[in-house]
Amino acid sequence: MKKILLLIMAAAMILVGCGTEAQPEKNAGEKTAQEQKSGFPVTVTDALDEEVVIEEKPEKIISLIPSNTEIIYALDSGDAIVGVTDFDNYPEEAMSKEKIGGMEFNIEKIISLKPDLVLAPGSTVDTVKEGLQQLKDAGIDVVVVNDAQSFEEVYQSIEMIGQAIGEQEKADELIENMKNSFAELKKKAEAIKPEEQKSVFVEVSPAPEIYTAGKNTFINEMLELIGAKNAAGDMDGWLKVDPEAIVERNPDVIVTTYGYYTEKPIEQVLARQGWNNVKAVKDQQVFDVHSDLVTRSGPRLAEGAEELAKAIYPDVFK
């Protein structure tokens, strides 16, 4: 059970020429021209507010959290990835990359892969601080990517990674595409009158430890975008909820996000003792959406918002 939550919340992380003595100035000039063309070196200010100078476009990258991996692939740079975590499952190609650990990273393994760049998650940086310092001491560039909890912060993550790997234009394009997708959903949601808005409880891990997403999360932002009310909107962040509190809130719809990792999530909710009078259960308005689409702070959040919308308002979002 805890593994499901960790999967969801979890939280969670170059060619110098040589020549004769008569050639140095020429080689230096050629290198400068190449740098201007590639955009390198670049200085990236990471989530720790540290300036990381990346001299050349990274050819070997290690990603320490699935969301960063998805961003790298979305920027058409998946071939440069040489290591990922045990939790990386998208795209399919990521699953065949070398594994460097799960909640705990194998620092020795990372160093042995000789990466140019390691993208670390801001959410776990305190627990792996010594390990990250080992990587820096080994001469590896380490960029700590922000722990995104909103659409805007996801855009910041994409922009930071795009800058670090030399794909700023593609990053800008990806962000623009996401914004356009969200705008289309918001436009459709205008057809939903205030009195028709449904109360939705999003369950990100099953009983007995039920967790949900309150305000200041991108799930809450998605619900607001599609014209739904978050039944846990008065709570803050990702938090554990007492089952009785959910019954008292009596949501119109219950959405589970763990069907990819647990069998029969809808049946679990419908069969809960004492929940038979909850409106969502009574009206059979319990749905499951793919966890990674709505809980992973990456480029597929727009798909997640659309999946949520179709589950909650199928007549509006066809």
Q: What is the pLDDT of residues 287-307, one digit of tens each?
A: 999 999 999 999 999 999 999
CATH number of the domain within which 273 lies: 3.40.50.1980
- In a domain? residue 250: yes
- In a domain? residue 185: no
| Last residue of one domain, picked from the residues 176, 200, 232 | 176
Please report the pLDDT score of residue 37 as a whole number: 54
Verify that 143 and 236 share a domain, yes or no: no
Verify that 303 and 199 share a domain, yes or no: yes
| Last residue of one domain, picked from the residues 128, 153, 176 | 176
Which pTM value belongs to this model?
0.87
Verify that 278 and 167 share a domain, yes or no: no
| Last residue of one domain, picked from the residues 153, 176, 199 | 176
Verify that 163 and 62 share a domain, yes or no: yes
Verify that 172 and 227 share a domain, yes or no: no
- In a domain? residue 278: yes
Verify that 45 and 104 share a domain, yes or no: yes
Verify that 144 and 43 share a domain, yes or no: yes
Verify that 202 and 251 share a domain, yes or no: yes
pLDDT at 13 over 50: no
pLDDT at 32 over 80: no
Q: How confident is the model at residue 128 (pLDDT cuts 50, 70, 90)?
A: confident
Q: How confident is the model at residue 228 (pLDDT cuts 50, 70, 90)?
A: very high
- In a domain? residue 49: yes
Please report the pLDDT score of residue 318 as a whole number: 87
Q: Which residues, other chains included, contact 35 with Cβ-Cβ below 8 Å and sequence gap of 6+?
A: 41, 56
State the total domains in the chain.
Answer: 2
Q: How confident is the model at residue 127 (pLDDT cuts 50, 70, 90)?
A: confident
- In a domain? residue 288: yes
Two structure tokens written together for 187: 């436009």
Verify that 265 and 306 share a domain, yes or no: yes
Verify that 76 and 133 share a domain, yes or no: yes
Q: Which residues, other chains included, contact 223 with Cβ-Cβ below 8 Å and sequence gap of 6+?
A: 200, 202, 229, 230, 233, 308
- Domain interval for residue 250: 191-312
Which among 237, 246, 181, 172 has a CA at the least distance from the CA of 209? 246
- In a domain? residue 291: yes
**247 burial type by CB count under 10 A (0-12 exposed, 13-18 middle, 19+ buried):** middle
**What mean pLDDT value characterizes the chain?**
90
3-state secondary structure the chain: CHHHHHHHCCCCCCCCCCCCCCCHHHHHHHHHHHHHHHCCCEEEECCCCCEEEECCCCCCEEECCHHHHHHHHHCCCHHHEEEECCCCCCCHHHHHCEECECCCECHHHHHHCCCCEEEEEHHHCCCCHHHHHHHHHCCCEEEEECCCCCHHHHHHHHHHHHHHCCCHHHHHHHHHHHHHHHHHHHHHHCCCCHHHCCEEEEEEECCCCCEEECECCHHHHHHHHCCCEECCCCCECEEECCHHHHHHHCCCEEEECCCCCCCCHHHHHHCCCCCCCCHHHHCCCEEECCHHHHHCCCCCHHHHHHHHHHHHCCCCCC
Q: How confident is the model at residue 38 (pLDDT cuts 50, 70, 90)?
A: low
pLDDT at 260 over 50: yes
- In a domain? residue 59: yes
Verify that 53 and 165 share a domain, yes or no: yes
Mean pLDDT across 61-70? 97
Verify that 224 and 300 share a domain, yes or no: yes
Which among 252, 304, 260, 298 has a CA at the least distance from the CA of 279? 252
Query: How many Å apart are CA 238 and CA 220, to the nearest integer?
Result: 10
Query: How large is the C-alpha radius of gyration of the chain?
Result: 22
- In a domain? residue 33: no
pLDDT at 262 over 90: no
